[in-house]
Structure 1
Amino acid sequence: MLYVYDPKALHHILVKDQYIYEESVDFIQTNDLTFGKGLLATLVGEHHRKQRKLLNPVFSTAHLREMTPIFYEVAHKLRKTLTEQVSQGEKEIDMLSWMGRTALELIGQSGYGYSFDSLEEGAPEHPFAAGIKNLLGNINDGGILVARMIVLPLVYGVGTPKFQRAVVNMLPWKALHDLRDMIDTIHNTSVEIVNKTKQALTEGKAGSEQRVGRGKDIMSILIKANMEASEEDRLPESEIIAQISTLTFAAMDTTSNALSRILHILSLHPEVQDRLRQEIREARSKAGGDLDYETLSSLPYMDAVCRETLRMYFVAHATPLYHSAKRDMILPVSTPVTTLDGKTVDELFVPKGTKMFVSLLHCNTDPEIWGPDASEWKPERWLSPLPDTVAEARVPGIYSHMMTFLGGGRACIGFKFSQLEMKVVLSLLLDNFKFAPSEQKIIWRWNGIVQPTTEQAQSPNGDKKLQMPLKVSLA
């Protein structure tokens, strides 16, 4: 196995030779059985390209500009509820829970024209939310993880879906049955969303106007574009359904944990929080209220705080899969490597089957690229020219010389969506609230993605309960 973070090597693995260095079979098979053939299950070849071609327009800047008011509608609900909670004074609140609920409602309304959560205190949790939230932990459960890696490649595709279902039902394995039930709930909700979208489209303008998001949601545009696409570019309905669970899974935990991390950091750096709040208030005062897409995107300190947090503390430190060489390859590196026999080489022989562990965090915090302060959280670095070494490294990421959202044909399709989501929520929260550290020490754990808990947290099954308590007060 190779542990890789060299920019030139990453360019070959993720861009130039991306169809030679393929993702692990276990990862693709698990995604197929969990979500269906969405983007995460068709990571290679023409199939993946066709899906991205149809989805790309709904993640464009032009479309995000139109969706910004929908984002604000959701964020205002969150602000109202938090205001009610702290109206009598400072209160400790689990902000991870609220960020998760908000992230799901954002993707629900802007993605599917569907509301999962009223964002009111004490509102019942939608079954889809519970399924998505618990899915990652269940998939990475000890026994399930071993079965995924060892058993799944041997039995994947054996028999009909009906036969496979009967086998799962027959096995006396509670964790597997829990996972089955989560997937059922997610799938059934996805089917409901697609059917409601199709019905609204057949009703024309009147049907779209009645939907949450007023027909500008991702699913409405995707289904309409699919109906109008040529025969060779059209996706079967099963793949449209699969995109819902795929995009929700990819968007909900990642963005909610990124927002939670930013709030945690700001609570520890009140001077940064105050400076950012001042910038937001000045912009909102000038705009007379909520900020449009262009204004949000052009706030320098907001952008600096988000970029620096995504550089150092993004939720996926490494690709959640291995890349494996399909044939013998030569892998060049930008920084020469000294071999065990003392030779210095600028390329490596990679035998067929070699696995690559791609470390995104290591590339994002490499002092050879970012300078001696690479391991420090410093938003100010983005307010002046970056070191020449950053541009010279030619990191193949699609975002700000970083690997946070990957690069190449399998880069994160929704990275602009995620940034807009974070900035809309932050612009309202920081204008209205102050955040201070809780007495409970927050620790960040690797659960497939990086998630917060506390030293005191304990769930009924003995694991650490995911949470991030902060002291919240009116600003």
Structure 2
Amino acid sequence: MSSLEGNLSQFFDRRGWTFVRELGEKFGGVVPMNGFFGQKILYVFDPKALHHVCVKDTDIYDETEGFLIAGAIMFGKSILSTRVILMHMHATLQLKTALVSQVEKDSKKDVDVARWMSRTALELIGQAGLGHSFDSLAEDKPNAYVDAMKALPAAVFALEILRPAVPYLYTYLPKPFLRWLVEVLPSKRLTHAKDLIDTLWNVNVDILAQKRAAIATGGEEEVKEGNDLISCLLRENMKASDEERMEDEELLGMMSGLTFAATDTTSTALALTLCTLAAHPEAQAKLRQELREARADGQELSYDTVTSLPYLDAVCRETLRLSTPVPYMTREASRDAVLPLHTPIRGKDGQMVDEVVVPARTMLVLGITATNRTPVLWGDDAHEWKPERWLEALPDSVLEARIPGIYSHLMTFLAGNSGFKFSQLEMKVILAMLVETFTFDFSEKEIYWNWAGIIYPTVGSVDTKTQMPLRVGLAKDL
């Protein structure tokens, strides 16, 4: 560990699960780390401290400047914080048809499930959010946008150690110079990330141009009648004054941020769940039985039915508890503050303390996974996948901790991710169709989940390509 990197090289290591787990288990709920050039960092997973960061004192704890600037670099001026979308069921049916066509000739076939989940999630948000079809899901063929979307989290995470330096570079160096610098620096990681971002940006430029062309050629009614988010934004933009009208860069930023936020986390949650069900065939069979009994009359499952199935709900909740797609988030203290603690910790002088002083400019890494897995709250089986825990009353330790998560006493969606209801619905609808129709088992290839800002699967811990091959077959009748 160098003085330049501090603990960051250990924390931002895709194989860093052991280091992160030790932070969560061997120390108290607030752990000091050293960052870039000695920057002070606090790894926080104490529930009371998190309540102050995420709910009570949000005016103090902002998203870090590096995070905001990195978002602007990747997605443009504006990152959409909400996902206003409607479920487009036919994309899910297209997925079913495509997978059936792949496996019906063979009893079982290895399928890259991670890629199919990305394609489906992108198509759902493409139709509902952008009014655009990215992928018909009719056949398994290359899709540059899907591949770039899936590869971006790993590519950005490979550069994560540089994030603390981004505000200084972005503030003091001209943006054209920074772009030139990225072009000429002999860094494969930097070039790879740039190429992925350019791919996403250029496709969104084309989509926006098509919307504008529809208006220019008399197709304004199409935009007026569209219920996708971008059509709504264009309608409002046409009414706005020159001073209030959004620039194209802002619209493109919203489009890029929307597709990324709605695609990658949801597809990762789906892949995690299917991987977990492959490891627990008895739970997979139990879920399939619940789904088939729910539609014993042969009718398609309604949204009300899907959302009311207890074991499906338990499977989703337990997966999002144990294996949250986003394992941490960052904040920065805008001024000096104090964090009270749910559980006292031992200070540097050996004395027990029930609050921690947070100097201004301190970075806070919010341990989402650590909070969701802490045995202090969830019991000795906190690291086990047990959906049955959601079919009975939760432990008093969980209920009394006042965990500030908006979803099921979990930090998975933090305190107010407005897209979590859509994400839940999308996850349940797709899982219901897949598990009822197909079986999922492990292939001969080892699946390794990499620690990152959004965790991702690879074949083994050496390969860097995002993929998750599972052996998929058609489920037999009960």
- Mapped to 1, the partners of 2:357 and 2:307 lie a distance apart of 43
Match of 1:128 in 2: 145
Counterpart Cα distance in 2 of 1:220 and 1:292: 28
Q: Does residue 398 of structure 2 align to residue 390 of structure 1?
A: yes
Residues 1-400 of structure 1 aligned to structure 2 (within 5 Å)? 1-39=41-79, 52=81, 55=82, 58=84, 67-68=86-87, 70=88, 72-88=89-105, 89-125=107-143, 127-141=144-158, 144-145=159-160, 147-150=162-165, 152-158=166-172, 161-198=175-212, 207=222, 215-225=226-236, 235-286=246-297, 288-289=299-300, 291-319=301-329, 321=330, 323-400=331-408
CA contact (8 A) 1:399 1:405 kept: yes
1:123-165 deviation per Cα after TM superposition (whole angstroms, max 9, x unaligned): 231x322332222233233xx4455433x33331456544544
Structure 1 residues 171 and 86: alpha-carbon distance in aligned structure 2, compared to 1, 3 A threshold: closer
Q: What CA RMSD, in Å, does the superposition of the two structures yield over aligned residues?
A: 2.7
Task: Give the alignment of 1:420-459 within 5 angstroms.
Answer: 420-455=425-460
Q: Structure 1 residues 228, 285: CA separation in 2 closer, same or farther (over 3 Å shift)?
A: farther
Provide the secondary structure at the position in 2 that maps to 1:156: helix
Q: Mind listing any 5+ residue stretches in structure 1 that lack a counterpart?
A: 40-50, 60-66
Q: How far 1:117 moved relative to its partner?
A: 1.4
Contact 1:279 1:299 in 2 (8 A): yes
Amino acid at match of 1:464: T
Deviation at 1:14, TM superposition (A): 1.6
State the one-letter code of the partner of 2:370: H
Partner amino acid for 1:269? H
Query: How far 1:24 sits from its partner (Å)?
Result: 2.5
TM-score, length basis structure 2: 0.82
Change in Cα spacing, 1:371 to 1:171, as seen in structure 2 (3 Å) is closer
Give CA-to-partner distance per residue, 1:234-256, whole Å, 9 cap, x none: 75442222011112222222211
Separation in structure 2 between the aligned mates of residue 111 and residue 261 of structure 1, nearest angstrom: 24
CA distance in 2 between counterparts of 1:274 and 1:106 reads 27
Partner AA of 1:120 in structure 2? A
Which position in structure 2 is the counterpart of 1:46? Answer: none
Matches of 1:297 and 1:430 in 2, distance apart?
15
Where structure 2 has 5 or more consecutive residues not aligned to the other structure, the ranges are: 1-40
Q: CA deviation at 1:396?
A: 0.8
Change (3 A) 1:325 1:82: same
Secondary structure at the aligned position of 1:115 is classed as coil
CA contact 2:306–2:428 (8 Å) conserved in 1: yes
CA distance in 1 between partners of 2:240 and 2:288 (Å): 46
Task: Report the 3-state secondary structure (helix = DSSP H, G, I; strand = E; otherwise coil) of the residue aligned with 2:413.
Answer: coil
Q: CA, structure 1 residues 414+222, in 2 after alignment: closer, same or farther (shift >3 Å)?
A: farther
Looking at structure 2, the residues matched to 163 and 102 of structure 1 have their Cα atoms a distance apart, in angstroms, of 38
Amino acid at match of 2:338: I
Contact 2:151–2:465 (CA under 8 A) maintained in structure 1: no
Letter in structure 2 aligned against 1:406: L
Amino acid at match of 1:188: N
- Aligned equivalents of 1:304, 1:110: Cα separation in 2: 27
Distance 1:373 1:194 in 2: 50
Q: Percent identity?
A: 46
**Per the alignment, do residues 131 and 385 of structure 1 end up closer, same or farther by CA in structure 2, a change over 3 Å counting?**
same
Distance 2:388 2:147 in 1: 38
Change (3 A) 1:225 1:379: farther
C-alpha distance in structure 2 between counterparts of 1:137 and 1:219, whole Å: 28
Segment of structure 1 superposing worse, 296-305 or 160-169: 160-169
